Structure 1
């Protein structure tokens, strides 16, 4: 049995991947993933354990069925949750669909959804702080497999704020071995 201690980051990058000088760095969602890595680099106590570091890197020119898809699945099997970056630029790519479908529907991984375009908890919530804003929920349509599968695992919806993401990564209810009830959760301001 795999030791599930990683955080699997799921984010959109353009397909096919452009190996130009900027490459994935030109894709906003990838930049937010690198932000997590930067926070970890600055503070070894930051609770991000990158599942992408658990297997060798592959090139996006690699064959989907024989190399890329099996590597994604191996990383997900070694993860305790998924950190999904969901923004207005997220697209329903083959890789992102596979990551979410396999992670939720096969592995039962809880999902921490980071909304990079929202800076605080109150930005995500309705005026009474009792529900997520419709604009946030509309982003779920960017990734139908997530929208349609998220009710089967715990999901925590957070803004792109270091202290809140750190709290989410430490929350045992959003780790596969100790996960809480399925459904939508968020932190109130």
Structure 2
């Protein structure tokens, strides 16, 4: 079994090649934050060989599974542009929750005010795999923390949400 110390970040690339036009900009911001002393984590994407977007689907999925198996938590970045059912994001969520039992730190960029009062708008960002699992009332094995996309909140969440020590259980904690 792999040593699970990585942080797996997932987002929707929105089918764009320009990083400034997709949610990869938030992933790149996470990587930039790791240069600060007060925000450190091991990037699961750096623990395996790189794959190209032109790789075969099974090659990509194998690399994603290897990264997930080395992870202790998944950061899920959901913007207003996140697609309901495109690309590999649903596959990543399905594997993270159903197979690897990863807790999710679900982050929402561009949110102002109290996140609890914006729940209906946040639900509109959920990809299909997440919505199916969070709406399934029989799933008592989920651990999902919903927060604003900010360095401080993500840093704090990473201290409390790992497969090794889940402090918060439930699909809708914020």
- Asked whether the two chains share a fold, i.e. TM above 0.5, the reply is yes
5+ residue gaps, structure 2: none
Partner of 2:20: 26
- Superposed counterparts of 1:91-170, under 5 Å: 91=83, 92-119=85-112, 122=114, 124-126=115-117, 133-140=119-126, 143-150=127-134, 151=139, 152-170=141-159
The partner residue of 1:79 within 68, 71, 75 is 71
Match of 2:162 in 1: 175
Aligned length in residues = 167
Summarize deviations over 1:133-189 as a string: whole Å, max 9, x none: 31112222xx11011124541100111221111111111xx2112124232111xxx
CA distance in 2, matches of 1:7, 1:96: 16
Secondary structure in structure 1 of the residue aligned to 2:50? coil
Asked if structure 1 preserves the Cα contact closer than 8 Å seen for 2:81 and 2:125, the reply is no
| Deviation for aligned residue 1:119 | 4.4
User: What CA distance in whole angstroms lies between the structure 2 residues aligned with 1:81 and 1:50?
Assistant: 11
Cα distance, 1:96 vs. partner? Answer: 0.5
Q: TM-score, normalised by structure 2?
A: 0.88
Q: String of CA shifts for 1:28-65, please: whole Å, max 9, x gaps.
A: 31000111100102x14413321111111111000011
- CA separation in 1, counterparts of 2:8 and 2:56? 21
Q: Is the 8 A contact 1:47 1:170 kept in 2?
A: no
TM-score under structure 1 normalisation?
A: 0.82
1:185–1:155 distance in 2 versus 1, CA, 3 Å: same
Counterpart for residue 68 of structure 1: 60
Structure with more of its chain in helix, by fraction: 1
> Which residue in 2 is equivalent to 1:4?
4
Q: Which runs of 5+ in 1 are unaligned?
A: 127-131
Q: Please, what is the CA RMSD of the aligned residues?
A: 1.7
Write the distance in 2 (CA, Å) between the matches of 1:7 and 1:39: 14
